[in-house]
Amino acid sequence: AQSVTQLDSQVPVFEEAPVELRCNYSSSVSVYLFWYVQYPNQGLQLLLKYLSGSTLVKGINGFEAEFNKSQTSFHLRKPSVHISDTAEYFCAVSEGVLTGGGNKLTFGTGTQLKVEL
């Protein structure tokens, strides 16, 4: 069975500072990896995804993540954060397209990013 670990439940950071949100996964097969962002009282919005190819993936809002197969990690980074980046960030893993064509994502417990002035 697959699982996702987000070690940091909260990450405070000052505006314009860099940030890294950590994500490690466990799976017995090749995986697809995702980062989603959730703003208060809203649904989840896809930030970026890794399916195959280049291990450095760029997403929306200046975020990027690097897939590291040997360390089973998919850490999210941004070189300079903004107040508007304050939100909850979820890492997720999928073991690929299921029989029937669907995607079953397993989520981590989330990391609350709080950007301060």
Partner 1 sequence: NAGVMQNPRHLVRRRGQEARLRCSPMKGHSHVYWYRQLPEEGLKFMVYLQKENIIDESGMPKERFSAEFPKEGPSILRIQQVVRGDSAAYFCASSPPNTKNTGELFFGEGSRLTVL
Alpha helices in the chain (DSSP H): none
Q: Are 73 and 23 in contact (CB under 8 A)?
A: yes
Q: Which stretch binds partner 1 (CB under 8 A): 18-26, 35-43, 62-70, 79-87?
A: 35-43
Q: Is 90 in the site for partner 1 (CB under 8 A)?
A: yes
Alpha-carbon torsion angle 14, 46, 60, 117, nearest 10: -10
Q: Is 108 in the site for partner 1 (CB under 8 A)?
A: yes
Residue among 15, 20, 49, 72 that touches partner 1 (CB under 8 A)? 49
d(CA 25, CA 2) in angstroms, rounded, equals 7
Q: Tell me which residues touch partner 1 (CB under 8 A).
A: 4, 6, 32, 34, 36, 41-46, 49, 51, 90, 94, 97-110
